[in-house]
C-alpha cells in the first residue's frame, strides 16, 4: 500500500520552512537511503523563482544536493513545496513538471495562518495518486503513529509536542 | 573520445536502466546525437521541436550549468562528465501558461518537447535572482 511514513521532527522542520518563506512558496527534499522509502535527511532548498505561485530549485544547488545524495547512497524520498494561498493539492503545473517518479510529492498549504494542510502524492506519468501521511513520533513507541488520510488537515495537532 | 553521461531515473527507460552511459561529441548537441544513436528517443526528451534545450531539464558539464556555457553549443572534451537532471519545479501558478503546458501530454512534460512562455519568463526570474 502506498503511504508516506515520516518522522514528526521532519514534518515540523518542513512546516517551519514553509512558514518562514510564506508568502513565497518554499521547496526542498528529504533524502533517505536508496530503496528504503524512508525519509531521513531534510534539505531545505532555495526557491530560485522566489514567487508566491511558482517554485524551482536553483540549478547549481540542485546539482550539489543530488551529487551529495549519490555519494551517500541516498535518493530523494520526498520532494516538498508549499502552496501559500491554495490547497495542498498538485496543480497542473506540478503534475506536468513532476520528474521524479520514485518520490513522494509532499505539499503543505500555509494559506491558513495557524494551521497547515499536509498531503502527499505520487505523480507518475501524469497520474496523481494521493497517499496517507503517517507521522511517526520519534522517541515514543515507534509503532505509535498518527495517520492523516486523504487531505484531512492536521490542524488539531499540537506542534509543541516535539520538545522544542 | 569518451564522455561520461549521468542519466536521471525518469530517462533510464532509454538506457536499459543504466545510470551512467558513455558518449562522444565536440559539443553537447553532438553528444546528444551520438547518444540517440544507441538510446533512441533520449534526445527528443531533452530538445524541443525548435531545436533548443528544453527549459525544464538541467544539463551540466562537470560543475557548470550548460546554460552558462552556450547550451547545446557547449564545448566538450574527453573525460568530461555530463549530468542530466529533470528540473524540480512547479507551484500553484495556474493561469493560461499552466494550461498551455499541461495541455501537452502530462506524462513527461517536465522534459518533453514543449516549452511555454511562462516557463521561459520564470527562468528569467530565476537567473536574475542568482
The CA distance from A76 to A59, in Å, is 16
- The CATH number of the domain holding residue B32 is 3.10.20.30
Mutation target to probe the B interface, by most B beta carbons within 10 A, among A43, A44, A97, A109 is A97
DSSP structure class, residue B112: S
Report residue B68: phi and psi, to 5°: -100, 5
**In-domain check, residue A157:** no
User: What does the pLDDT average to over A81-106?
Assistant: 91
The CA distance from A14 to B12, in Å, is 30
User: How confident is the model at residue A146, as a pLDDT?
Assistant: 56
User: What's the mean per-residue pLDDT of chain B?
Assistant: 77
**Element holding B123 (H helix, E strand):** helix B117-129
Q: Does A89 touch chain B (CB under 8 A)?
A: no
Domain range for B55: 3-129
Q: Does A22 touch chain B (CB under 8 A)?
A: no
**In-domain check, residue A122:** yes
User: What does the pLDDT average to over A104-128?
Assistant: 94
Which residues touch A82 (CB under 8 Å, ≥6 apart)? A18, A21, A22, A25, A26, A27, A107, A108, A109, A110
What share of chain B in percent tops pLDDT 70? 71
pLDDT tens per residue across span B56-72:
899 999 999 999 999 99
Mutation target to probe the B interface, by most B beta carbons within 10 A, among A44, A45, A54 is A54
pLDDT-based confidence at A117, cuts 50/70/90?
A: very high
Chain A CB contacts of B98 below 8 Å = 91-93, 96
> Nearest CA to A42 among A3, A20, A84, A14?
A14
Q: Does A17 touch chain B (CB under 8 A)?
A: no
> Nearest CA to A133 among A91, A90, A84, A78?
A78
Buried b (16+ CB within 10 A) or exposed e, B27-61: bbbbbbebbbeebeebbbbbbeeeeebbbbbbbbb
Q: Does A56 touch chain B (CB under 8 A)?
A: yes
pLDDT-based confidence at A97, cuts 50/70/90?
A: confident
Judge whether A106 and A80 are in contact, CB under 8 Å: yes
pLDDT over threshold 90, residue B73: yes
**In-domain check, residue A27:** yes
Q: Does A100 touch chain B (CB under 8 A)?
A: yes
Domain range for A90: 4-152
User: B11 vs A96, which has greater pLDDT?
Assistant: B11
Q: How many structural domains comprise chain A? A: 1
Which DSSP string do the residues of chain A spell out, in sequence order? ---EEEEHHHHHHHHHHHHHHTTS--EEEEEEETTT----EEEEE-BTT--SS-EEB-HHHHHHHHHHHHHTTEEEEEEEEEESSS-SS--HHHHHH---TTSEEEEEE--STT--EEEEEEEETTEEEEE-EEEE-TTS-TT-EEEE-TT---TT--GGGG--
- The CATH number of the domain holding residue A132 is 3.40.140.10
pLDDT over threshold 60, residue B105: no
pLDDT tens per residue across span A27-83:
999 999 999 999 999 999 999 999 999 999 999 999 999 999 999 999 999 999 999
Q: How many structural domains comprise chain B? A: 1
Which residues touch B92 (CB under 8 Å, ≥6 apart)? A25, A52, A53, A54, A83, A84, A85, A86, A91, A93
| SS3 of residue B47 by DSSP | strand
Report residue A15: phi and psi, to 5°: -65, -40
Q: Tell if the CB–CB gap between A59 and B125 is shorter than 8 Å.
A: no
| SS3 of residue B62 by DSSP | coil
**In-domain check, residue A88:** yes
Amino acid at each position: 500500500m502506498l503511504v508516506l511514513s515520516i518522522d514528526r521532527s521532519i514534518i515540523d522542520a518542513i512546516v517551519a520552512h514553509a512558514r518562514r518563506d510564506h508568502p513565497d512558496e518554499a521547496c526542498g527534499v528529504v533524502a533517505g537511503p536508496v530503496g528504503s522509502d524512508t525519509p531521513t535527511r531534510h534539505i531545505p532548498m532555495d526557491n530560485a523563482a522566489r514567487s508566491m505561485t511558482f517554485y524551482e530549485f536553483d540549478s547549481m544547488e540542485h546539482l550539489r544536493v543530488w551529487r551529495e545524495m549519490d555519494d551517500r547512497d541516498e535518493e530523494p524520498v520526498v520532494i516538498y513545496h508549499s502552496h501559500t494561498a491554495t490547497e495542498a493539492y498538485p496543480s497542473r503545473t506540478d503534475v506536468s513538471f513532476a520528474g521524479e517518479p520514485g518520490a513522494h510529492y509532499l505539499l503543505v498549504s500555509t494559506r491558513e495562518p495557524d494551521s497547515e494542510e499536509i498531503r502527499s502524492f505520487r505523480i507518475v506519468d501524469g497520474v496523481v495518486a494521493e497517499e496517507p501521511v503517517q507521522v511517526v513520533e520519534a522517541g515514543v513507541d515507534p509503532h505509535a503513529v498518527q495517520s492523516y488520510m486523504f487531505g484531512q488537515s492536521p490542524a488539531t495537532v499540537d506542534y509543541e509536542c516535539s520538545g522544542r | 573520445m569518451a564522455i561520461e553521461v549521468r542519466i536521471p531515473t525518469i530517462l533510464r527507460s532509454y538506457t536499459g536502466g543504466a545510470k551512467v552511459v558513455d558518449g562522444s561529441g565536440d559539443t553537447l548537441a553532438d553528444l546528444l546525437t551520438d547518444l540517440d544513436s544507441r538510446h533512441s528517443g533520449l534526445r527528443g526528451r531533452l530538445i524541443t521541436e525548435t531545436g533548443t534545450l528544453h527549459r525544464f531539464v538541467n544539463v551540466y558539464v562537470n560543475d557548470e550549468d550548460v546554460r552558462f556555457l552556450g547550451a547545446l553549443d557547449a564545448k566538450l572534451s574527453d573525460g568530461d562528465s555530463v549530468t542530466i537532471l529533470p528540473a524540480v519545479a512547479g507551484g500553484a501558478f495556474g493561469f493560461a501558461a499552466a494550461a498551455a503546458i499541461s495541455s501537452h501530454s502530462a506524462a513527461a512534460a517536465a522534459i518533453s518537447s514543449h516549452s511555454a512562455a511562462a516557463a521561459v519568463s520564470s527562468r528569467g526570474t530565476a537567473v536574475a535572482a542568482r
